[in-house]
Amino acid sequence: MELLKKYTQCFGPSGREDAVRDIIINEIQSFCDEIYTDALGNLIARKGKGGNKIIAVTNMDETGVIVTALENNGFLRFALVGGVDKRSLAGRRVVFENGTAGLIASENDNDNFDVSKMYIDAGVDGGINPGDMACFCGDFIENSGIIVSKSLSGRVGCYILTRAIKEIKQPENELYFIFSTQKEVGMRGAKTAAYGIGADYAVSVDTTACDDVPGGESHVRLGGGCTVKVMDKSVIAHHEVREKLTELANAEAIDYQLEVNSNMRACAGAVQTCGMGVKTGGISVPVRNIFSPSEIASTKDIECALKLLKLYLCR
């Protein structure tokens, strides 16, 4: 889990994924036949030649905040970058790329969900300017197969793709691994990265909301295995991909759940419509408290997702 910890704790809000990309390059460059970065900062790695062209895609970015105005005494007004859970904002710590830390506070305790009434108390004058981004602070904790950390919703996919690249030795298919940018603000990177590949099939590797708590209504539960995507807000999974994933999971006794979620988006939605279209599906890892600084995932579900992805890419 040291690699996952390294990924989640790295600074990388949407549009500023450089540090995450550098770590990934260092991990995978000796395991790829080709690796390159495009104009939007997407990282694309190819492994194998011939057979079907298959894309495995995830995102590198995380949600965060961007400074919109400076006030006296070091107070900073801000806007959200990505789908942040506003319920978790007040009292949360953020950190800027230069190491400056701050605390999000509200003008009025009754306005905890109104971002226009919030500010960052950084306690400094100077060093921070409008346009500077910050990400949320959230330590990485592993306990009895459960992981708690910030940025799991962005970096679990990076971890799974990295391990797949390292562990798939001689693929019969032509595999493209896309680590995309700016997913949290509209899946912008995935669409451009996939456009020039002309893939036959694609699988997005992402996370999905898991609300299996008291009073929750989620049909996806933590520890129940990875999910095979049926539909989300951005995509209806192609039946060939979905059926092959479930067939492989059943044959190899991999625990899985079917994902139907009308509130989430995945990179699959962007890749599906590239060029003449790509037969696209998805594998997700269930996450509780998604888009908060304390996301919760199961190592069992992560391993199930990795095993299923490797089977699909190779078969």
Decide if 302 contacts 285 (C-beta within 8 A).
Answer: yes
Q: Which residues contact 155 (CB under 8 A, 6 or more apart)?
A: 4, 7, 8, 10, 20, 60, 62
The pLDDT assigned to 255 comes to 98
The pLDDT assigned to 73 comes to 80
DSSP state of 270: H
Range of the domain at 123: 64-136
71 and 205 share a domain? no
Helices 299-314/239-251 angle, 10° precision? 110
CA-CA distances (angstroms) from residue 156 to 8, 90, 305?
A: 8, 26, 10
Residue 101 CA to residue 111 CA, distance in Å, equals 23
119 and 261 share a domain? no
The residue out of 90, 108, 136 marking a domain boundary is 136
Residue 295 CA to residue 282 CA, distance in Å, equals 20
The pLDDT assigned to 219 comes to 85
Decide if 120 contacts 76 (C-beta within 8 A).
Answer: yes
Chain centroid offset of residue 259 CA = 17
116 and 150 share a domain? no
156 and 27 share a domain? yes
Per-residue b/e over 13-27, b at no fewer than 16 CB within 10 Å? bbbbbeebbebbeeb
236 and 144 share a domain? yes
Please give the tally of structural domains in the chain. Answer: 2
155 and 112 share a domain? no
Strands 34-37 and 43-47: antiparallel
3-state DSSP call for residue 143? strand
Per-residue b/e over 171-186, b at no fewer than 16 CB within 10 Å? bebbbbbbbbbbbbbe
The pLDDT assigned to 213 comes to 80
- The predicted model scores a pTM of 0.95
Q: Name beta bridge partners: 134.
A: 65, 96
Type of residue at 130? P
State the CATH number of the domain containing residue 41.
Answer: 3.40.630.10
45 and 80 share a domain? no
Q: Sign of the CA dihedral 211, 17, 313, 51? A: positive
pLDDT beneath 50: ranges in the chain = none
HEC per residue, 37-79: ECCCCCEEEEECCCCCEEEEEEECCECEEEEEEECHHHEEEEE
Instruction: Quickly count: other Cβ atoms within 10 Å of residue 300's Cβ.
Output: 17
The pLDDT assigned to 110 comes to 59
The pLDDT assigned to 109 comes to 65
Residue 255 CA to residue 239 CA, distance in Å, equals 20
The pLDDT assigned to 206 comes to 95
The pLDDT assigned to 65 comes to 96
107 and 218 share a domain? no
Decide if 157 contacts 207 (C-beta within 8 A).
Answer: yes
Q: Residue 310: which of 108, 208, 194, 172 has the closest Cα?
A: 172
155 and 294 share a domain? yes
12-52 pLDDT, tens digit each: 999 999 999 999 999 999 999 999 999 999 999 999 998 99
The pLDDT assigned to 271 comes to 94
State the CATH number of the domain containing residue 103.
Answer: 2.40.30.40
103 and 244 share a domain? no
